[in-house]
Structure 1
């Protein structure tokens, strides 16, 4: 099968198509889901620069695509996932975040495989397909001890997706907390995959402020720009480390990508102490949700006033804070919901109201175990 070239370009992207639906419509609305709005979700000049790449103001995460334990993935969901992908691209979304570790057990790498398949089978314009940017993360597994092994991990991801180049190649986490000697080899692996042209740009994930400065300085000395830093960032994760990472990123021209902008679903308004999701998420929600009333009340009040949904308000907060959110999607309805976070902005007073609600809430998201200082 022919290999596709799937990278972002610095040229202006195709004009975004109009959004096909808004979730602020009541469920019994007579307006069909295909009814377009008058304006696109965002204008071409509102795209964001991530190193040499030009991406939509929001991307979509694909952690759930293959994960059975946390997200209940089943291969019967693939048709819905493909429709979800198509809807996103048709509405101007061109950034998709994945990882070589996404997918449980025998389904390891499933997220990348599905992304590659969906790109090849996308029914829309070739121009839209060519402007898709894949941001994939490479796991710092303990057996990846040399730069060459990390480069081979990147090549395996390219093979799974059947593409020639990844938009952003990211180190999934730092080993500084438990295997500092491995860290330098992984950094050299990022340099090598960049110099070999396997990735268009490089980034990191789960790096705290100190390690972010260290890898930035190291890569700069090697002539490789660090274009992105991915961190858990939301109204549930707005602590000192997140603030410092954001400030450092802004000062160094690194784009901050905020993952879990909806707190694994806690900021959707769908769940309560008596209505928990199944599996491990339910155990986590049981600990955190009871302390979120001030924040959830603020989200609800603003959503009603703005005629937006609670998730749209929560994602819009991330956008207003200058980050690039990548909420996860696994259905067409979720994609439509998230798309409604674009095309408008919260006021400064609303931002303060949300942050006050977050500060008065006792619930806090548990940080990633691999997050460094």
Structure 2
């Protein structure tokens, strides 16, 4: 299944309030009119009173897109379904994807994904999730299936399981960027290349550390990100300098260079966007390609960083 080269990570609910809806509609409209066709979301984006809100908003944005119908109809949606502890049977997982379809206003998803593996803490549930993933494909609820936060060992296991049922594993979504390219990520990428699985790179900007907007001693994000930035950012000076150097030579921004590096690795990056400025910046990563020398210089500078991004707690081996 062809997924394109760039997608929008629909994770805009941090600090969300309903007054943002009209601006987010404009953000969506600009992304689509600029050629973005794949939107990645999840049924767990939005909890409490916002339960399922991200999918609901994305469904509304598609319906209210003011451009040509053929463009609106060409939008592809990938959603991730959470391995909640109460989803213990394949039928419950199928019910979950039907809920996503209802919120999105769709009859079929382009890509249905397991949001994370339960193998480490609930191995019996893991098999039920796999059976559910297969069932929603066989029932035609999704055009293709994928996984998220699966390391190489578990990825190979589910690939073998699905292959026995004649179901292709289309994608694997992992944290991947210039500061998230450790042995496990690279092993996963190698396996994806071998098995014909498309790697989707989430957090391609390292939660903002690769944008060049933040420096030690100056204002940093508040909350949990603040501690993370204080631990990692001081060691990124050589990498950020290389990003700025390449960006200046290319007439681009550091963010655009960091996203393009992911594209040059053969991944589909899914940067998030809350504002029109975010979308414009992200779109500037398209339509050109870093040279092999630039990719090598950036990778070398990244290798010199003393610390990279911490792994998602749901990431498996």
Q: TM-score when scaled to structure 2?
A: 0.98
Counterpart pick for 1:323 among 237, 257, 267: 267
The answer on 1:217 being equivalent to 2:160 is yes
In structure 2, the partner of 1:116 is: 59
Q: How many pairs does the alignment contain?
A: 316
Q: Distance in 1 between matches of 2:151 and 2:266?
A: 18
Counterpart pick for 1:93 among 17, 31, 36: 36
Q: Distance in 2 between matches of 1:237 and 1:104?
A: 27
Q: Distance in 2 between matches of 1:249 and 1:356?
A: 23
Q: How does 1:2-17 map to 2 (within 5 A)?
A: none
Per the TM alignment, residue 359 of structure 1 is displaced from its structure 2 partner at its CA by 0.9
Q: Distance in 2 between matches of 1:320 and 1:236?
A: 15
Q: Distance in 1 between matches of 2:71 and 2:140?
A: 22
Structure having the higher helix fraction is: 2
Q: Distance in 2 between matches of 1:263 and 1:304?
A: 20
Secondary structure in structure 1 of the residue aligned to 2:161: helix
In structure 2, the partner of 1:29 is: none
In structure 2, the partner of 1:23 is: none
Return 5+ residue gaps in structure 2 as ranges: none
Per the TM alignment, residue 181 of structure 1 is displaced from its structure 2 partner at its CA by 1.0
In structure 2, the partner of 1:335 is: 279
The answer on 1:155 being equivalent to 2:103 is no
The answer on 1:141 being equivalent to 2:89 is no
In structure 2, the partner of 1:83 is: 26
* CA distances 1:53-110 after superposition (whole Å, capped 9, x unpaired): x43310000112x2xxxx3222111111111111111011100000000013211211
Poorly superposed stretches of 4+, deviation over 3 Å: none
* CA distances 1:222-264 after superposition (whole Å, capped 9, x unpaired): 1211100001000010111111111111111111100000011
Q: Is the 8 A contact 1:158 1:164 kept in 2?
A: yes
In structure 2, the partner of 1:4 is: none
The answer on 1:58 being equivalent to 2:6 is yes
The answer on 1:361 being equivalent to 2:309 is no
Counterpart pick for 1:349 among 283, 293, 314: 293
* CA distances 1:253-300 after superposition (whole Å, capped 9, x unpaired): 111100000011111111122220122222221221111111111101
Q: Distance in 1 between matches of 2:310 and 2:49?
A: 28
Q: Distance in 1 between matches of 2:125 and 2:95?
A: 16
Q: TM-score when scaled to structure 1?
A: 0.83
Per the TM alignment, residue 345 of structure 1 is displaced from its structure 2 partner at its CA by 0.8
Secondary structure in structure 2 of the residue aligned to 1:269: coil
The answer on 1:226 being equivalent to 2:172 is no
Q: Distance in 2 between matches of 1:145 and 1:158?
A: 20
Q: How does 1:162-201 map to 2 (within 5 A)?
A: 162-201=105-144
Identify the range of structure 1 (283-292 vs 107-116) with the bigger mean alpha-carbon deviation. 283-292
| Aligned alpha-carbon RMSD (Å) | 1.0
Secondary structure in structure 2 of the residue aligned to 1:210: helix
Secondary structure in structure 1 of the residue aligned to 2:144: strand
Q: Is the 8 A contact 1:193 1:199 kept in 2?
A: yes
Q: Distance in 2 between matches of 1:109 and 1:309?
A: 34
Per the TM alignment, residue 178 of structure 1 is displaced from its structure 2 partner at its CA by 1.0
Secondary structure in structure 1 of the residue aligned to 2:118: coil
Counterpart pick for 2:201 among 258, 282, 307: 258
Q: Distance in 2 between matches of 1:252 and 1:130?
A: 30
Return 5+ residue gaps in structure 1 as ranges: 1-50
Q: Is the 8 A contact 1:56 1:92 kept in 2?
A: no
